[in-house]
Structure formats: structure tokens, C-alpha cells
Structure 1
Amino acid sequence: MYKLINIFSYIYLLISSLIIAGEVGGGAEEEVYVMPAGYAFSIWGIIYLLLLGLFIRQFFANEQEEAFLRKSGWWLAVSMVLSGTAVIVSTTLSILFIAGTLLTLCVLYTKTRKELSISWMLSVPITVYLGWISVATIVDAFVVMEANGITELFGIEQLTWAVLMLSIGGLIALVFYIVHKDVMFPLVFIWGYIAIWIKQDVFLIQLVTGTVIILLAGVITFKNHRIS
């Protein structure tokens, strides 16, 4: 049953994103300090293909992969429904669905992380999905602020918040990689931060994103070099 629910939820995600919203991933219209270059949203095409591979693989899963799928329960399906809904509701409401998607994917990743011997066709889609939703949550939060005319929050202006959130996001990606040794998560952040660095011409934003990119790439290269 959960395999069929996954398929139906995936179809809903595609219909809502590609037909109803009419966009691959839903690039936002508001121009904010954390908005990446338009090409960055093409990663949704990769996510759709990876999820398709996961749902094909689930019908040919071995015993350990079945255990992985059982542990995933309804979490993956719920995350896709929330993600699909986020692109068809109002800008202000979208942040709630994006945040919900992030939360469900975090639970999903935590529940299934111990299954280390499964096919990459099952593990990589979830990690890439989680990575991009993490970046998208940061972006969407600022889009909602801009759409509602909020130029500062708790006495802190939007640029300062952008610097803080981008820094925290980079730190999360670094810690995630060190703890879980899952390289796909920081690679997605590198993808998103390069697009932000290209799009934005504000010095502080370029400084933060450039630093995070160099730091993540350096740590990944160093750890892989030690392993080899």
C-alpha cells in the first residue's frame, strides 16, 4: 500500500509543479538577497528523476531495501504532497508547506539513515531532496518577507538576516556532512550557494556564499583524500 501511495503522491507533485504551477520547481518572483540564479531551480528536474528511480526500484527491492521502505512509512509521501501544495498556494502560505516538507524529510532521513547497504537509488533521492528543500526554505522565508513588505524583523534588517541565515545554512551543511558522511547534502548546498553568488552583487552576500562554498568544497576534498 505505501508503495502505491508513494506513486500517487509523486504524480500529485508533478501535476502541481509542472501543470498547475507551470514551473520546474517554482522560481519565486520576488527579488531578495538570497535569491539564486534561475538555473539553480533546474535541480528539481534531477529530483523528479531521482524520485522516479526510487519508485521504480521499490518494486524490485531486496530484503534490506524493503526494511528501508517500511521505515520510511508515509513520510516521503507526505513530504511530496506538502511540496506540491507549496507551489500552488499563496506566497505567504507557501512557507508553511515548505517548512512542513523540510520537517517530514528530516524525520524520514533520521528514520532510514541506519540502512547503509541499500541501493543509491533509494538513498540519494532523499538526500538531494532534503538538501534542496533546506536551501529552498531559506529562500522562501525571505520571499515571504519581501511579499509582505517586511524590511526588518525583531529590529534586524533583511540584509543582516540574509547573512545570518546563509551562514547558519552553510554550518548545518558542514555539520551534516561530518556527522553523516553523506556528500550529496553539502553538494546541493554548494549548487545553491554558487547560484546565489552569481545572482547577487551585494558584497556581504557574495562573501558569505563564497566562504561557504570554499569551506564545504575544501572539507569534502580533504576527507575524501584521507579516505583514499
Structure 2
Amino acid sequence: MESSAKDLVRQISVISAAVFMIIAAMVGVGVFGGTPVQELQDGALAADATYLAPASSAFSIWTAVYVGLFAYTVWQALPSQRANERQRVLGWWVALTMVLNGVWLVLAQFTTLVLTVIGIVALLAALAVTFRRAIVLSPSTGWVDRILIDGVTGLHLGWVTLATVANVTAWLTVNLPASWEDHAVVWGMTVLAVVAVIGVAISWAGKRLAPSLALAWGLSWLAVARITDQPESLAIGYTAAVVAAVILVVGIAFTVRGLREPRSVQTA
């Protein structure tokens, strides 16, 4: 299959998106003088700000996500990938997720908490579409493909799913009346039950382990935070641990099942 000018534009656009995301990430951790994420929005996004915030160690998963996206960016830029049909289907979408990733950090640095909610919901939606297109509309044809597109996108999706819950919870905590805190544990456990359903649904639909790994990672650190740190809640902590285990076991089961199934391109 011959390449075209559009293919070259796509490759350059993906590289540009990755550069923007990396610069935004550096600003987000304070490298260029910006305020670290944990201190933004008057501390509303800190690990001890809400009942559904994971411990700060959980955020080390961003290293894996960024390394994976960087590796994808280099790989998709190779001449051999220029006219690849799967890159044509997915390249623009992966670029969009990287741009929105960086946009969230910009919003967190310079705007309001409600805009960070809008930004992370947009990122989650883009990741969900990208993951669906990767799994359903354009299945992988090799292990490199499977790792750098399915795996990295799945890891990104799983983590951002939980990050969205934490971000929305932070916004609600700031804006709801203080009396609502009396019911925070019940609401927290309810939300975690919903996260369990979402995690199982992603495993069932995608049959990829990466989203489950990211969700289980975040939930495990959420459990650690609620059991060992403030605001303390053993009920939420143990619920998060159980949900993490369920999502991981179900994710493994569906991934094994997916590996045993014949691959075929499905239509929308």
C-alpha cells in the first residue's frame, strides 16, 4: 500500500501531540516553575483531599503511560508504518488522547476545578473511543501492535477511568454542603461498586489486560490511602481492595479467553 501526504501529516501530528503532552507534564510536576499537581486547586487534587483519592504513589503509573506513548510515537513515525491501515484508523485518535492529556494539566494549572472535570471527561471519552476502535474496528495484527496501541491505550484508559472518579469527587467535595460528608462513606462505596461494573465491562468488551491492571493499581493505592492516611475509612479502603481484586481476576480471565478466540475484524 502506497503512502500519501496525509500519512506524513498524521505522523508529524502524532509527534507534535506527544511533544505538547510531555511539555505539559513537565509543567504539571513543576519543572518549569509550575505548581505540582498535588498542590493545585487549593489542594483539592491531593491524595488526602477526598475519600476516593489514591495515595500519591499511585501516580507513578504515569511514567509507564508516558513511556508507552513515547514508544508508540517513535514506532508510528517509522517509514514502514506510514501507510499502515491501522495507523490510519487510530493515529489521529491516539494523538487526540495525548493532546487532551496535556490540556488537563494546563486546565489544572491555570483554570478552575470544574474545567478540570470537563477536561478529564473529554479525555476519558476520547480514550474509550480509541480503545473501542483499536479492539473492535481495527484489531491488532502483531505483538508490537498489540502492546504499543492496545496495551498503552488500555493502560491510559484504565487509569483515567479512576482519575475521573477522583477528579469529580474532588469537585463535589469542594462544592457540596459540608453536611453531605455524613454520607460520604456510603456514597464512596457506591461509586466503587460502579467502578467495579465499569472495569468488568471494559474487560468483557476489550479482552485486554491493560485496563484492568491500571484500575487495580489505582484502586489498591486508594485502599492504602483510606486505611493508612486521612481521611480514614476502613469501609472504603476494604471495598476498594475487593474491587481491585475482582477487576484484576476478571481482566485476566477475559484476556485469556480473548487470546484463545480467532481474530476477526468486526463492523460497527
The two structures share one fold, judged by TM-score above 0.5: yes
Q: Distance between the aligned counterparts of 1:156 and 1:2, measured in 2?
A: 51
Residue in 1 that maps onto 2:11: 3
Could you tell me which residue of structure 2 aligns to residue 117 of structure 1?
A: 141
Cα gap change, 1:47/1:82 in structure 2, threshold over 3 Å: closer, same or farther?
Answer: same
- Please say if 1:163 is aligned against 2:189: yes
Q: Contact 2:21/2:101 (CA < 8 Å) preserved in 1?
A: yes
CA contact (8 A) 1:17 1:26 kept: no
Separation (CA, whole Å) in 2 of partners of 1:99 and 1:141 = 9
Q: Which moved more, 1:204-213 or 1:73-82?
A: 73-82
Equivalent position amino acid for 1:26 in 2: V
Q: Hey, what's the Cα distance between the residues in 2 that align with 1:134 and 1:94? A: 14
Distance 1:224 1:80, change over 3 A: closer
Q: Which runs of 5+ in 2 are unaligned?
A: 1-8, 39-44, 228-232, 261-268
Change (3 A) 1:225 1:82: closer
- Give how far 1:64 is off: 11
Task: Give the corresponding residue for 1:190.
Answer: 216
Q: Find the counterpart in structure 2 of residue 143 from structure 1.
A: 170
Decide whether aligned partners of structure 1 residues 222 and 107 sit closer, same or farther in structure 2, where only a CA change above 3 A counts: closer
Please say if residues 97 and 126 of structure 2, whose CA atoms lie closer than 8 Å, have aligned partners that are also in contact: yes
Aligned to 2:235: 204
- The answer on whether the counterparts of 1:131 and 1:185 sit within 8 Å (CA) in structure 2 is yes
Offset at 1:62? Answer: 5.2
The correspondence for 2:248, drawn from 212, 217, 222, is 217
Equivalences, count: 227
- The structure that has the greater radius of gyration is 2
Which runs of 5 or more structure 1 residues have no equivalent in the other structure?
Answer: none
1:184-215, Cα deviation, whole Å (9 max, x unpaired): 11111110011000000312212321211222
Identity %: 20
Structure 1 residue aligned with 2:119:
97
Quick one: which of 37, 61, 70 aligns to 1:26?
Answer: 37
TM value normalised by structure 2:
0.74
Q: Deviations over 1:109-138 (max 9, x none)?
A: 112213222422232111111111111100
Question: After the TM superposition, which of the residue ranges 10-19 and 39-48 deviates more from structure 2?
Answer: 10-19
* 1:223 positional shift: 5.9
What is the TM-score normalised by the length of structure 1? 0.86
Query: SS of 1:162's equivalent?
Result: helix
* C-alpha distance in 2 between matches for 1:81 and 1:146: 28
Q: Is the 8 A contact 2:208 2:255 kept in 1?
A: no
Q: Give the secondary structure class of the aligned counterpart of 1:74.
A: helix
Whether the aligned pair in 2 keeps the contact of 1:105 and 1:130 (CA below 8 Å) is: yes
Note the alpha carbon deviations across 1:60-87, whole angstroms, 9 max, x for none: 3757982221112532222222221212
Give how far 1:53 is off. Answer: 0.6
Of residues 59-68 and 189-198 in structure 1, the stretch that sits farther from structure 2 once superposed is: 59-68
> 72, 81, 89: which is aligned to 1:54?
72
Instruction: Quote the Cα distance in structure 2 between the aligned partners of 1:184 and 1:65.
Output: 27
**What is the Cα deviation at residue 108 of structure 1?**
1.1
How far is 1:170 from its partner? Answer: 1.6
Structure 1 residue 169: deviation in Å?
1.1
For residues 106 and 183 of structure 2, the distance between their equivalents in structure 1, rounded to whole angstroms, comes to 29
How far 1:219 sits from its partner (Å)? 3.2
- Measure the CA separation in 2 of the matches of 1:56 and 1:221: 29
